[in-house]
Structure 1
Amino acid sequence: MMCLWANAGMVILISMSFTAVFAASADEWTKRSIYQIVTDRFALGNGSSPSCDTSEKKYCGGNWQGIISKLDYIQSMGFDAIWISPVVENIDGAMSGDKAYHGYWTQNINSLNANFGLADDLISLSSALHDRGMYLMVDIVVNHQPQTFDYSLLQPFGGADCFHSECFISDYNNQTNVEQCWLGYSGLPLLDLDTENSTTVNIMYNWIKNLVSDYGIDGLRVDTVKHVRKDFWPEFASSAGVYTVGEVLTGEVGYAAPYTEGLDSILDYPTYFAVQKAFINGVSGDMATIAEIFTEAQKQYNHGAFYVGSFVENHDNPRIQSTVSDQSIVKNVITWPFINDGIPILYYGQEQGYQGGNDPANREALWLSGFDENKPLLAQIKNLNAARKQAISYNPSFLNNPVTFIPQASASSTLAISKPPLLALLTNGGSSSTESWSIPSSAGLYNANETLVDVLTCDTVITGSDGSLSVTTSQGLPKVLMPAKSLSATGSLCSTEAERSSGANRIDHQ
């Protein structure tokens, strides 16, 4: 059977006059902070809170109307963009007893997943976000579709020739094997789309152009990018016309870097693994590894690390608190995405202290938390978002100047990260530790006797007569310092300290 564009029974996305997307460039996205949502597990439009056993791997009822109903909750934490699960129609039956509640088992790319709502509901979500000045990122899958043994169901592809011949990936050191063999296993096979086939390629380029325009999508998270040939991606990204960030699952900067040429950027997995190693191992972890890996990313990624998605939890990896109970370490880890060069991404439930382990345990229903806004991690996240936005507003070069790491005597247990006007001081020592940092005057960060505010607590420290800084923290808590003069006396972030220094001179931005 030839790979033909199958029209029979196909549901075409309706072209419509729709509000223009907000952002067509990565530069616009660098100003944003993203809240990642597994649509089925976030909220129901009718406000109900059904039971949801993650081990059953079935639909629990979350939908696009549910997300709309909780935009106040998301925005109140300071997020101005959301990333939602894939929106296209998935297989309706079970595969190995599991349902496609996650959205990654595509059946028809030209139809929507009715479990999440109708076309009008997705359009309403996009419109509701845009009315608030927020962006919509949608997760997409190009690489694979589930094997249903009835190729006519996998629309709009016409037959087996649209897919690579059956072979499961056996050698991740062989790139051809990675790109042309299948993910999954015999009990759960995922057909690998033949992206060397020109018909298939044209289908995908046209599809993504229409999906973005029809539903007012502002950005795309692209699944399993390394399983598709690299030269497929530039035209795909051009067809989309919006920011594209790809999943390249690797801890090696050198392997990941070439994918930042075809797409706008990638999720920064190499640094993620370094962060996990440094913090999850506690005092036996080496904080210096974070600086080493991230510095390599800055050097090798196209556009440095400014366009990457920076994260410490997601739907594919265990939550921090599945292995770490020390809340001081948790607070340090959560701080990382908000104080480096990348675009911060927070996985839903992290703010509520969720503790799910490996998939599917890490895909808990958020409605079971009651959307409690009094949680300590939620308060910290709100402050981190506010601090980043204030830094962007105060320093016009904030988004373009790379972070630097200031060497510390205790390199294995402390990290000092400078991105003026932010100075983040992190430690993996835990709640029983007392840690110290020293910022020499030669770093050139501060004036003599300058007041700095820890935006996580609103406590203050003062630099020495030569502009140097010495800071000690108890209970292993992180600090994010900003000059008091960089804060707004009318804002929500440590405004009292800002008012006290309202007469101070602002930093020179020349």
Structure 2
Amino acid sequence: MSLSVSRALALATCFAASSLAASVVEWQERSIYQVLTDRFALEGGGTARCVTDDRKYCGGTYRGIIDKLDYIQNLGFDAIWISPIVANVGGFTTYGEAYHGYWAQDIYKLNSHFGSADDLVALSNALHARDMYLMVDVVVNHFGPANSSASFESFNPFNKPSYFHPRCLITNYNNQTDVEQCWLGDDKVALADVNTENLWIVTTLNRWIASLVKDYRIDGIRIDTVKHVRKDFWPLFAAASGIYTVGEVFHSNTAYVADYTYVLDGVLDYPTWYQLFPAFQTSTGNLSALAEVILKAQRSYKTGLFGSGVFSENHDQPRFASLTTDTARIKNVIAFPFIHDGIPILYYGQEQGYTGGNDPANREALWLSGYVEEKEFVDHVKTLNAARKAAIATCAEYLVTPMEFPEVTATTLAVYKHPLLALFTNVGSHGTTSWDVQGTDYAPGTELLEVFSCSKVYVDSTGGLTALSTSGQPQLYIPASAPFEHCKNR
């Protein structure tokens, strides 16, 4: 059964929560630091054993995050994305415990491993006191593993098999009906797929998200497994939340992902990610394919790439540093989201040089790093955030200016997004390359600052720029008149 459009819209409006309700435009000004709550910080500091292969809770909490907000803010981030907050199934499965938060059992209770309701409110308040935003991960598509009638009885509020689609594992990802109505997982751990065609379930979920946002003063939600739920479910759910919504559509095809930009504020830009790693992993990577997929998304996404989230690592994919040890290539990959049209997202630990491979190896405890800030990648991230903020302050149109590619060769890529010019290369730390960039709108003679080296150059009489790299490092230029203070502090 489905809601009539008029009635559903009315209900969504009634459910919409009162919160800070930052707009999409306000979120565009931000950069996001993603944490796995269980793996980011222990309350009161200190360290504890955390072996990723064990797939067990390691002890990270909301209070632990509060203790380390200085660290996140010093990196230049003004928003964080935390793990799903609802109570998850207990016990140990074939794939370990639900430390990640994606196996819901009771959506009306919190995951006690992460802290209490008061602790979560305290985190929200602490962020807002710093003018930072809180993004919470939300799962609608499924609950936890259901291998018996007792499993369904333990779920709340959907405590009957009839509240879920009949069990069938997804075997054909080209069949959208299977994708939306069959279950994720395998014969060992199958995740109960919520029947989002049911009127009562739709109403319940819309009421639930409105209350969640209001109770914990959430500013944005990242929605898991979006492609596994019918598209016409999402506009009403988003309206009920009353805040910024960005959805995970795990797919490489731009046209497929683009459809979801018409039902949510934005998507995680997986098509770009699919080209990003191979482009920079070796010197034979296809940089033109990376530019092409971005141009295609700019044309096909509802509002271009503006409002979408762009990333190079996350909890579901191997870290780039597990695929190469070349620091120059790693720096190029880290830098790319910060010159992109979308909202940059950094996965915790990337700044510390973490090298975890596929899940669960990519879910390391950050306290084992000591949160050291005198590190090469940490400074790299600080510089990128500072340069992006300076660009926003310099040009009122920066956030709605689409990135352009004035140079694409076998080993180099120039990205221009006024007032920033970024030069990327995949030649690696021992490679030499050069750029000859034309087609910017810099005035001849403009003094530019290269933000990583703090060196200055001048735009030539045609508005162009030539640059040389002997170590494969990315270069990022901004007018020297911009309010970029990072070089002064070195």
Whether these two folds match at TM > 0.5 is yes
Distance 2:393 2:216 in 1: 30
The letter of the residue matching 2:487 is: C
Match of residue 134, structure 1, among 132, 135, 146: 132
Distance 2:337 2:306 in 1: 12
Residue 96 of structure 1, CA deviation: 1.6
After superposition, give the CA deviation of every residue in 1:99-147 in whole Å (9 maximum; x if it has no partner). 0000001000010000000000000000000000000000010001123
Task: Report the counterpart of residue 493 of structure 1 in structure 2.
Answer: 486
1:109 and 2:102 aligned:
no
Distance 2:30 2:341 in 1: 12
Conservation of the 8 A alpha-carbon contact between 1:22 and 1:135: no
Distance 1:168 1:243 in 2: 32
Task: Report the counterpart of residue 251 of structure 1 in structure 2.
Answer: 252
Partner of 2:400: helix, strand, or coil? Answer: coil
For residues 359-438 of structure 1, the aligned pairs below 5 Å read 359-408=359-408, 411-438=409-436
1:88 and 2:86 aligned:
yes
Conservation of the 8 A alpha-carbon contact between 1:35 and 1:81: yes
Moved more, 53-62 or 411-420: 411-420
Residue 20 of structure 1, CA deviation: 6.1
Instruction: Rate the CA distance shift 1:97–1:268 in 2: closer, same or farther, 3 A.
Output: closer
Structure 1 unaligned segments of length 5 or more: list them. Answer: 4-18, 498-510
1:75 and 2:73 aligned:
yes
- What is the TM-score when the length of structure 2 is the normalising length? 0.94
Count of residue correspondences? 472
Partner of 2:398: helix, strand, or coil? Answer: coil
For residues 96-495 of structure 1, the aligned pairs below 5 Å read 96=94, 98-148=96-146, 149-280=150-281, 282-408=282-408, 411-440=409-438, 443-488=439-484, 492-495=485-488
The letter of the residue matching 1:446 is: Y
After superposition, give the CA deviation of every residue in 1:40-64 in whole Å (9 maximum; x if it has no partner). 0000112120010000000000000
Conservation of the 8 A alpha-carbon contact between 2:393 and 2:483: no
Residue 446 of structure 1, CA deviation: 1.9
Q: RMSD over aligned Cα, in angstroms?
A: 1.5
Distance 2:311 2:22 in 1: 22
Distance 1:453 1:469 in 2: 12
Residue 447 of structure 1, CA deviation: 2.1
Could you list the structure 1 runs, at least 4 aligned residues long, displaced by more than 4 angstroms after superposition.
Answer: none
Q: Percent identity?
A: 51
Residue 89 of structure 1, CA deviation: 0.1
The letter of the residue matching 1:213 is: K
Residue 496 of structure 1, CA deviation: 8.9
Distance 1:345 1:97 in 2: 27
Distance 1:162 1:261 in 2: 27
Conservation of the 8 A alpha-carbon contact between 2:95 and 2:189: no
Task: Report the counterpart of residue 45 of structure 2 in structure 1.
Answer: 47
The letter of the residue matching 1:96 is: T
Structure 2 unaligned segments of length 5 or more: list them. Answer: 2-16
Conservation of the 8 A alpha-carbon contact between 2:459 and 2:465: yes
After superposition, give the CA deviation of every residue in 1:435-462 in whole Å (9 maximum; x if it has no partner). 111122xx24222222211111101222
After superposition, give the CA deviation of every residue in 1:397-439 in whole Å (9 maximum; x if it has no partner). 000111111134xx12111000111000000110111111112
The letter of the residue matching 1:147 is: P
Partner of 2:336: helix, strand, or coil? Answer: helix
Distance 1:89 1:385 in 2: 34
